[in-house]
Amino acid sequence: MNAVFWLLNDQHKVPQSPNAESVTPMLHFACVLAADLFRQNKKIQMGVDDQDKAHVMDEWLWQFDASRFIPHNLPGEGPHYGTPLEINWEASNLRRNCFINTCEQIPDFYKKIKGLSEWHDFVPADEAGKAAARERYKQLKQAGFQLSTNPIPESIV
């Protein structure tokens, strides 16, 4: 399985919006990445630490420009077969080939995701965030993932 760690830097900012105060650059770019993966016809689960963070992500996705809109839901919402993006703090019963991790640690439930072939993660610009990302990187490497790191493309900023 492939895992990509996206590198954030101090230049990456959250666009101004009414709900922007609760959104970090990592959360913003996780949503941008989800929109790009959606345009590639991928089914995505976005892993978040808890239900409160899921609601923050849900609200932030509604702030996106219509050209970047992605149909999404929280667990138990939406159609029975799900939407292209599910924001969840536990394993989904739906088949998902992409996982976007916004959790500080690797969530235990990722092993239960059906059909998973891509992992996306972030390396924040701050030292604490970098240390946590290094630990996730090390754990994924030990789990047999093929790892790469990439800067956030200017095309999605």
Task: Name the token pair of 77.
Answer: 């919402």
pLDDT band at 64 (very low <50, low <70, confident <90, very high): confident
The predicted model gives 86-95 an average pLDDT of 87
Q: Is the pLDDT of residue 123 over 90?
A: yes
- Core vs surface per residue 35-65: b (16+ CB within 10 A) or e: bebbeeebbbbbbbeeeebbebbbebbebbe
Q: At what angle do helices 25-39 and 51-62 cross, to 10 degrees?
A: 60
How far apart CA 132 and CA 122 sit, in angstroms, is 10
Predicted confidence at residue 157, as pLDDT, reads: 53
* Residue 123, beta-bridge partner list: 7
| 115 against 156, higher pLDDT | 115
User: What's the CATH number of domain 2-156, 3.60.10.10, 3.40.50.10110, 3.30.1490.70, 2.40.128.20?
Assistant: 3.40.50.10110
As a whole-number percent, the residues of the chain with pLDDT over 70 amount to 89
pLDDT at 13 over 80: no
In this prediction, residues 150-156 reach a mean pLDDT of: 75
Range with the poorest average pLDDT among 3-12, 20-29, 38-47, 87-96: 20-29
Three-class secondary structure of residue 77 per DSSP? coil
Q: Stretch 85-98: mean pLDDT, rounded?
A: 89
Contact 56, 23 (CB under 8 A): yes
Confidence of residue 69 (pLDDT cuts 50, 70, 90): confident
* Contact between 8 and 151 (Cβ < 8 Å): no
Q: Taking Cα atoms as reference points, which of 95, 2, 105 lies closest to residue 45? A: 95
What residues does each domain of the chain span?
2-156
Q: Lowest mean pLDDT: which of 113-117, 132-136, 139-143, 150-154?
A: 150-154
3-state secondary structure 71-110: CEECCCCCCCCCCCEEEECCCCCCCCCEEEECCCCCCHHH
d(CA 132, CA 134): 5
Residue 14 is predicted with a pLDDT of: 53
Residue 20, pLDDT > 90, answer no
The answer to whether 17 and 63 have CB atoms below 8 angstroms apart is yes
Once rounded to an integer, what is the mean pLDDT over residues 64-83?
83
